[in-house]
A = this chain, B = another copy of it.
Amino acid sequence: MSKVRLAFIGFGNVGQALARLLLRKEAELLARYGIAFQVNGIATAHHGVAVSDQGLDLNQVFRIMQEKGSLNILSNTAIDDIEEFLKISQADVLFENSPVNYETGQPAINHLRTALNLGMHAITANKGPVVHAYFELSELAKAKGKKFYFESTVMDGAPIFSLYRETLPAAQLLRIHGILNSTTNLILTRMENGESFEDAVRYAQSIGIAETDPSGDIDGWDAAIKLAALASVLMEYPLKPQDVEREGIRKIDLQAVEQAKLQGMRWKLVCSAWREGNSVIARVAPQKVPMDSPLYNVNGTSSVVQFETDILGLLTVFEQDPSPDTTAYGLFADFIHAVT
Binding site for B on A (CB under 8 A): 21, 25, 28-29, 32-33, 157-159, 162-163, 166-171, 291-294, 296-297, 299, 311-323, 325-326, 329, 332-333, 336-337, 340
Contact = CB atoms under 8 A, between A and B. Distances in A.
A166 B162 contact: yes
Contacts of A333: 167-170
Nearest to A169: B336
Contacts of A299: 292
- Number of copies of chain A assembled together: 2
Contact of A297 (B21, B169, B297): B297
A245 to B, nearest CB: 26
Given A32-B170, A163-B163, A321 B317 contact: no
Nearest to A28: B170
B313 A315 contact: no
Given A168-B159, A170-B25, A318 B337 contact: no
A12 B336 CA distance: 40
Nearest to A333: B169
Contact of A313 (B163, B311, B320): B320
Contacts of A158: 312-313, 315
A326 B297 contact: no
Contact of A29 (B170, B315, B325, B340): B170
A159 B157 CA distance: 18
A157 B329 CA distance: 26
Contacts of A319: 312-316
A336 B170 contact: yes
A159 B163 contact: yes
Given A167-B167, A336-B170, A318 B316 contact: yes
A313 B159 CA distance: 12
A328 to B, nearest CB: 9
B170 A332 contact: yes
A129 B294 CA distance: 33
A296 B162 CA distance: 27
A320 B316 CA distance: 8
A305 to B, nearest CB: 11
